[in-house]
């Protein structure tokens, strides 16, 4: 009983401790909330400041690259022009035109001149060609470039251009030494004005937000562009221009000041945090539900896409911007004969590149690194066993869902079957051409026998006369015997020439492209054409200009075309009177299209309209014994040489068949000869 009062005062202590804890937690939360409200504005201001500074750095880097790119393009143009000057390929008017074009294309240039070793002008972009006086620094640079043979810039300095009364401007010269072997030909000097460089090369939108300056190594201002006023010095960045021989730095100073704190940021933060807490919980629940559904759909789509890609017979290959293979499908691995793990992640050269096409692969890979690809091309891949596989490649940019290019996507087709079919078609075409030649020779066989009878009969007569002379008693006069033997030899050579022409025309061989003169082409088959013309009492005439350019093609195929066309022309004139039977072969050259045209003109019965529509169709012929392949083969042969075969009515009666072929340039023809 005595212990009861001692326990009663201890009971209220526990509620006091629990109450203190319950109050402490909200106080801590409020203090934490206030701390966040104080920290958030400062952090937002700091982040905005950092973002502005990073944006300025990125924009400055872009501007610096733009300036350097333009200067690099000018450097390349000047070096190429210097090579042409050193090679002596430019006349004075051409040189002035090239210099003026450089000045027109590069607005940042104020002049481009060629200074010879003695200081005189070899050429100038200035139409008045006023003398040019280089500064001491520019002369020193010229001396250095002469010794090193390397192009170099001079340090920008104030100069008075062209020695006029204009105010001094900060100029910078770029020297390109010219050498022909070991002979120094002077310097090609391009002069830039730094203020014009900023005006031309700095985008207007960048100049509206920043003060842009060019300074030297001592921070001396060479040029300044401040379209929106002077910078505030809060956000600045320097970027050195990599110019050999000159120290120039690009300095940007933003006109923006430090970001200000928002007055209503505290109130806005309270409202946003209060409402955002409830919204975020609901949004999080909805997001989780949608994400789970999307992941399920994505897994299903990935499975479907994988199954679809594995079933394709077209090879797929993905590469990043550095040319590294990032993905291949099973069809591609089957084409090249390598598993995916042996080629994914690899940089060129690739194991499936054929050694004979290595230079072609390297050139295309360089184009890929430069951001350019050939959309469609044919090449050859090599399997591990050495087998070559002809493929057709389609290449296109690989773009992500944000529209940014991340690499290149290619589809590869195995065209081995197509190549085999093309080879079979080519062989069949050659057989048709050979058959056509044999058919042509069959048609002129009787005329050939008649033509050979003449020289053979003459040989018999001359040899009989010579034998009679030898059979007489007494000495034989050599002066009487010699003419008969010479005539017999001449007639034997004529018969041999006819036989050789026929043999060269009908023998089978691979097509051989070479530069061929039209006159030489006609001379090779003139005997056969004249043989048919004499049998049909047709006059054969040719009009070949003396300086007609040659064409590139296979002599036998083109001879067959001419022989078929002339034979058809001769046969078409059988119904007309003999005095009207005239066959003309006229050649001409069109300088605008660089093509040679050859026209076979007859004065025969012409071609009816219903026949003209089917004239080039295979197996169509107006002759009872014809196969209907002559004109079709002629057109195929001309198109094989990159030309075209057409026909039209002759105003004087008959038909004009014309084929055109690309002319061989004069230089190429001389090298071939």
SS3 of 609-671: the string is HHHHCCCCCCCCCCCCCCCCCHHHHHHHHHHHCCCEEEEEECCCCCEEEEEEEEECCHHHHHH
pLDDT averaged over every residue in the chain: 78
CA atoms within 13 A of residue 225's CA, in its CB half-sphere: 22
Within the chain, which residue ranges are assigned CATH 3.30.565.10? 510-673
Q: What percent of the chain has pLDDT over 70?
A: 73
What digits encode the pLDDT tens for the residues 174-213?
999 999 888 888 899 998 888 888 888 888 888 888 888 8
Tell me the pLDDT band of 389, cut-offs 50, 70 and 90: confident
Q: Under CATH, which number does the domain 51-258 receive?
A: 3.30.450.350
Beta strands at 221-225 and 315-320: parallel, antiparallel or unpaired: unpaired
pTM of the model: 0.37
- For the segment 534-548, the average pLDDT, to the nearest whole number, is 89
Within the chain, which residue ranges are assigned CATH 3.30.450.350? 51-258
pLDDT, position 600: 94
Mean pLDDT check: name the lowest of 59-68, 152-161, 279-288, 471-480: 471-480
Tell me the pLDDT band of 12, cut-offs 50, 70 and 90: very low
What is the SS3 assignment for 216? Answer: coil
Give the integer Cα–Cα distance in Å for 116 and 189: 11
Give the integer Cα–Cα distance in Å for 196 and 410: 45
pLDDT, position 11: 43
- Segment of 402-411, 509-518, 584-593 carrying the highest mean pLDDT: 584-593
What is the SS3 assignment for 241? Answer: strand
pLDDT, position 2: 41
pLDDT, position 462: 62
Classify burial at 401, counting beta carbons within 10 Å of its beta carbon; exposed 0-12, middle 13-18, buried 19 or more. Answer: exposed
Tell me the pLDDT band of 673, cut-offs 50, 70 and 90: very low
CA distances from 562 to 558, 637, 645, 657 (A): 6, 11, 11, 10
Tell me the pLDDT band of 100, cut-offs 50, 70 and 90: confident
pLDDT, position 551: 93
pLDDT, position 598: 95
Give the integer Cα–Cα distance in Å for 608 and 610: 6
Residue, of 603 and 2, whose pLDDT is higher: 603
Q: What φ, ψ does residue 159 adopt, rounded to 5°?
A: -140, 160
What digits encode the pLDDT tens for the residues 155-181?
888 765 554 434 567 889 999 999 988
pLDDT, position 4: 44
pLDDT, position 508: 46
Residue pair 606/653 in contact (Cβ under 8 Å)? The answer is yes
Within the chain, which residue ranges are assigned CATH 3.30.450.20? 312-414
Tell me the pLDDT band of 275, cut-offs 50, 70 and 90: low
- For the segment 18-27, the average pLDDT, to the nearest whole number, is 58
Tell me the pLDDT band of 560, cut-offs 50, 70 and 90: confident
Residue pair 67/74 in contact (Cβ under 8 Å)? The answer is no
pLDDT above 90 (res 597)? yes
Largest separation between any pair of C-alpha atoms in the chain = 190
What digits encode the pLDDT tens for the residues 69-94?
888 888 888 888 888 888 888 888 88
pLDDT, position 472: 65
Please choose, from the candidates 155, 192, 161, the residue with its C-alpha nearest in 3D space to the C-alpha of residue 74: 192
pLDDT above 50 (res 266)? yes
- The packing angle between helices 478-506 and 518-535, to 10°, is 100
Say if domain 510-673 classifies as CATH 3.30.565.10. yes
Number of Cβ within 10 Å of residue 671's Cβ equals: 10
Give the integer Cα–Cα distance in Å for 481 and 464: 11
CA distances from 656 to 526, 626, 650 (A): 19, 21, 6
Tell me the pLDDT band of 18, cut-offs 50, 70 and 90: low
Q: Quickly list DSSP for 483-521.
A: HHHHHHHHHHHHHHHHHHHHHHHH------EEEE-HHHH
pLDDT above 60 (res 61)? yes
CATH number assigned to the domain with residue range 312-414, chosen from the 4 options 3.30.450.20, 3.90.330.10, 3.40.1160.10, 3.55.40.20: 3.30.450.20
- For the segment 2-6, the average pLDDT, to the nearest whole number, is 42
pLDDT above 60 (res 224)? yes
Tell me the pLDDT band of 218, cut-offs 50, 70 and 90: confident
Residue pair 395/410 in contact (Cβ under 8 Å)? The answer is yes
Number of Cβ within 10 Å of residue 596's Cβ equals: 23
Give the integer Cα–Cα distance in Å for 503 and 562: 17
Residue pair 189/113 in contact (Cβ under 8 Å)? The answer is yes
Mean pLDDT check: name the lowest of 115-129, 136-150, 276-290, 461-475: 461-475
């Amino acid at each position: 009983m005595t212990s009861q009062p001692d326990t009663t005062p201890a009971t209220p202590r526990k509620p006091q401790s629990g109450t203190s804890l319950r109050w402490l937690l909200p106080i801590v939360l409020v203090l934490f909330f206030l701390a966040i409200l104080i920290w958030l504005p400062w952090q937002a201001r700091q982040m905005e400041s950092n973002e502005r500074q990073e944006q300025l750095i990125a924009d400055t880097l872009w501007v610096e690259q733009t300036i350097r790119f333009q200067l690099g393009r000018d450097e390349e143009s000047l070096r190429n022009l210097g090579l042409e000057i050193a090679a002596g390929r430019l006349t004075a008017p051409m040189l002035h035109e090239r210099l003026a074009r450089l000045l027109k294309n590069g607005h940042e240039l104020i002049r481009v001149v060629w200074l010879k070793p003695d200081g005189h002008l070899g050429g100038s972009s200035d139409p008045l060609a006023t003398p040019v006086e280089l500064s001491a620094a520019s002369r020193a640079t010229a001396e250095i470039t002469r010794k090193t043979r390397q192009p170099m810039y001079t340090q920008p300095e104030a100069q008075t251009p062209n020695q006029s009364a204009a105010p001094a401007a900060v100029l910078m010269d770029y020297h390109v030494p010219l050498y022909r072997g070991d002979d120094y030909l002077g310097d090609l000097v391009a002069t830039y004005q730094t203020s014009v460089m900023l005006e031309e090369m700095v985008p207007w939108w960048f100049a509206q937000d920043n003060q842009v300056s060019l300074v030297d190594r001592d921070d001396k201002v060479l040029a300044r562009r401040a379209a929106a006023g002077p910078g505030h010095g809060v956000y600045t960045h320097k970027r050195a221009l990599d110019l050999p021989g000159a120290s120039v730095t690009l300095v940007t100073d933003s006109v923006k000041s430090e970001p200000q704190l928002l007055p209503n940021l505290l109130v806005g933060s309270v409202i946003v945090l209060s409402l955002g807490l409830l919204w975020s919980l609901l949004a999080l629940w909805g997001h989780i539900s949608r994400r789970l559904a999307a992941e399920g759909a994505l897994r299903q789509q990935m499975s479907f896409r994988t199954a679809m890609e594995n079933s394709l017979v077209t090879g797929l290959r993905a590469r990043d911007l550095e040319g590294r293979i990032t993905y291949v499908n099973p069809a591609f691995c089957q084409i090249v004969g390598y598993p995916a793990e042996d080629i994914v992640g690899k940089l060129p050269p690739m194991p499936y590149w054929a050694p004979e096409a290595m230079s072609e692969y390297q050139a295309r890979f360089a184009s890929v690194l430069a951001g350019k690809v050939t959309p469609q091309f044919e090449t050859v891949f090599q399997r591990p066993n050495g087998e070559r596989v002809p493929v057709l490649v389609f290449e296109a940019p690989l773009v992500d869902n944000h529209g940014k290019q991340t690499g290149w996507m290619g589809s590869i087709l195995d065209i081995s079957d197509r190549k085999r079919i093309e080879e079979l078609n080519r062989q069949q075409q050659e057989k048709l051409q050979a058959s056509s030649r044999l058919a042509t020779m069959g048609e002129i066989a009787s005329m050939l026998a008649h033509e050979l009878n003449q020289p053979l009969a003459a040989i018999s007569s001359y040899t009989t006369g010579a034998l009679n002379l030898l059979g007489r008693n007494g000495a034989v006069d050599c002066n009487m015997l010699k003419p008969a033997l010479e005539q017999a030899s001449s007639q034997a050579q004529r018969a041999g020439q006819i036989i050789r022409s026929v043999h060269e025309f009908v023998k089978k061989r691979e097509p051989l492209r070479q530069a061929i003169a039209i006159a030489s082409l006609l001379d090779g088959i003139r005997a056969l054409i004249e043989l048919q013309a004499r049998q049909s009492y047709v006059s054969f005439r040719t009009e070949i200009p003396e300086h007609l350019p040659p064409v590139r093609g296979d002599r036998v195929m083109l001879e067959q075309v001419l022989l078929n066309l002339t034979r058809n022309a001769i046969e078409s004139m059988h119904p007309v009177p003999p005095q009207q039977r005239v066959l003309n072969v006229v050649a001409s050259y069109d300088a605008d299209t660089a093509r040679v045209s050859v026209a076979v003109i007859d004065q025969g019965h012409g071609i009816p309209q219903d026949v003209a529509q089917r004239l080039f169709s295979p197996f169509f012929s107006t002759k009872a014994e014809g196969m209907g392949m002559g004109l079709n083969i002629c057109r195929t042969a001309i198109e094989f040489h990159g030309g075209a075969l057409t026909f039209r009515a002759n105003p004087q009666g008959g038909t004009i068949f014309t084929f055109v072929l690309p002319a061989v340039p004069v230089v190429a023809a001389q090298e071939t000869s």
